[in-house]
Amino acid sequence: MSAPKSSFDHEASLDELAGIGRNRRFDEALEDEDFEDIEVVCRKVKTGVTGPDRYEEIPLAKPARAFYFGDKALYQDEALRFSTAEKARILNINEYRNNLSTAVPVDSR
């Protein structure tokens, strides 16, 4: 008799499980409860309820992990947007005139 087939259907590659391709600083921002710019929310439809309050929000233990495995392309887009905004803030030439970033226009005064 052959062994029963496992019901665990894994779709993630070994690289994904190891976290290759994840953005550590972006993950820290997602995990930070005080950082309100980005929030990962899991919603479940309440049975028998209609209207705007038909969803129940379920707290996530690891929002960054859920986001990464839930929609990897969106995760990468948002991580890139986060990194670009962070670099623009750091390279702001209005505050630091010696930086040569073109991300923020210089005030001509």
Per-residue pLDDT tens for 42-70? 888 888 888 888 888 888 888 888 888 88
Whether pTM exceeds 0.75: no
Contact status, residue 55 vs residue 46, Cβ threshold 8 Å? yes
Contact status, residue 56 vs residue 43, Cβ threshold 8 Å? yes
Q: pLDDT for 4-36, tens place per residue?
A: 555 555 677 777 777 777 888 888 888 888 888
- Full DSSP string of 5-62: PPS----S-HHHHHTTT--HHHHHHHH-TT--S----EEEEPTT--STT-EEEE--S-
Give the pLDDT of residue 100. Answer: 58
- The burial of 105, by beta-carbon neighbours within 10 Å (0-12 exposed, 13-18 middle, 19 or more buried), is given as exposed
Give the pLDDT of residue 109. Answer: 47
- Model confidence at 108: pLDDT above 60: no
Tokens standing for residue 58: 């379920």
